Amino acid sequence: MKIAIGSDHRGFNYKSKLIKYLSKNHTIKDFGTFSEESCDYPDFAFKVAKAVASRKFKRGILICGSGNGICMAANKVNGIRAAIGYSAKAAEFSVRHNDANIICFSEDFPLTDVKKAVKKFLSVVFEGGRHLRRVEKMKEIEEED
């Protein structure tokens, strides 16, 4: 699977570890940041979100200090359904019921939990059915803008 990944300075450490972890079985493109020097999370959230929205990448992963800011920024891009991966179960349902295409994390979450959530996020598929109607309603709002 082709995966876009990015972080701000607070997520740089986990991003580096996730790239190493995922590169064995996936094609990964790192959209930055490339150091722990202070930077702004929206810059990297937008790069990853635009790459996923273009469908050049099937899924995206974003990491920042809280997981919240980078998630909010990514969701500003039409076609993106970013969720915070609080747990493997949350990551699973973000895809299964909401067709999430980007998962976001805080570097303050335990790395073992993040890896479990990433593995689940990448392995499940959208159920469709009754959930499709709800996801389609989000597209309607996007198109009104």
Q: Is position 64 annotated as part of the catalytic site?
A: yes
Contact indicator for 49, 25 with CB cutoff of 8 Å: no
Options 9, 26, 39, 64, the catalytic residue:
64
**Of the residues 9, 26, 39, 97, which is catalytic?**
97
Enumerate residues 6+ apart whose C-beta is below 8 A from 51. Answer: 4, 29, 31, 57, 60
Coil, strand, or helix at residue 138?
A: helix
User: In whole angstroms, how far apart are CA 86 and each of 103, 107, 120?
Assistant: 10, 11, 12
Q: Is 71 a catalytic residue?
A: no
Task: Indicate which residues carry an active-site annotation.
Answer: 64, 97
